[in-house]
Amino acid sequence: MSAASLLSNRLFLAFEDMQDAKRYLAALEELSVSDQLSGTSAHYYHREAIFVAVVVTYCRPFKKSQTLGNADRFLDPKALGLFATRPDLEALHNELITHRDKVAAHADWEYHNTELLSRDASGAIHRKSPRPSFMLGIAVPRICELVDYVLQECRQRTYCLDSQSLNEDAI
């Protein structure tokens, strides 16, 4: 399989991941509106779980995966110049990758730590572990902007690679 075909396959998979991330973001926004209207945080844990799904799904194309030789193992944004015209979105992209790696997908000590507090007279041991914020405090519209941008880039680049491949096959 040609390098262009491997890249095109990975770009299309990334495009599909971005579509999924958009759907998750829409669900997250619906639950946020519901909580705002009710004046409660009844859906907080639901929103948090959806946010983790957004982060993991968004980051999937940028992490190594098994492809059985049918696609590039991951997308390298720097090598592709993915954010050449949008360095502001590159910063957000990097923040999501770090969040995925340290908080959502792994339990890095920086965010998931524990401390032995005391033992009381009955022999009970008390320990604490601060709960990390899974939702980062980033405005959902900003993440939507990033996802839309990456989706469009992946769609356009896949189209260009596939068009080029079809033209070469026709020759």
Exposed / middle / buried, residue 63 (Cβ in 10 Å: 0-12, 13-18, 19+): middle
SS (H, E, C) 18-43: HHHHHHHHHHHHHHHHHHHHHCCCCC
Cα separation, 64 vs 92, whole angstroms: 20
What pLDDT score was predicted for residue 68?
87
How do residues 86-144 score in pLDDT, each as one tens digit? 999 999 999 999 988 887 665 655 665 577 788 888 888 888 767 666 666 778 899 99
What pLDDT score was predicted for residue 123?
85
How do residues 50-100 score in pLDDT, each as one tens digit? 999 999 999 999 999 988 888 989 999 999 999 999 999 999 999 999 988
- DSSP letter at 152? H
* Number of continuous H segments (helices) and E segments (strands) in the chain: 5, 2
Q: Is the pLDDT of residue 5 over 60?
A: yes
Closest residue by Cα to residue 42 from 50, 34, 52, 51? 34
Cα separation, 116 vs 39, whole angstroms: 37
Supply the range of the domain harboring residue 35.
3-77+86-170
- Give the end-to-end CA distance of the chain in Å, rounded to a whole number: 18
Q: What is the mean pLDDT of residues 11-34?
A: 96
In angstroms and rounded to an integer, the radius of gyration of the C-alpha atoms of the chain is: 20
Per-residue tokens: 33: 């509106």
What pLDDT score was predicted for residue 77?
97
Of 64 and 1, more confident: 64
Q: Is the pLDDT of residue 171 over 90?
A: no
> What's the structural domain count of the chain?
1
Question: 46 vs 29, 30, 102, CA distance in Å?
Answer: 11, 11, 21
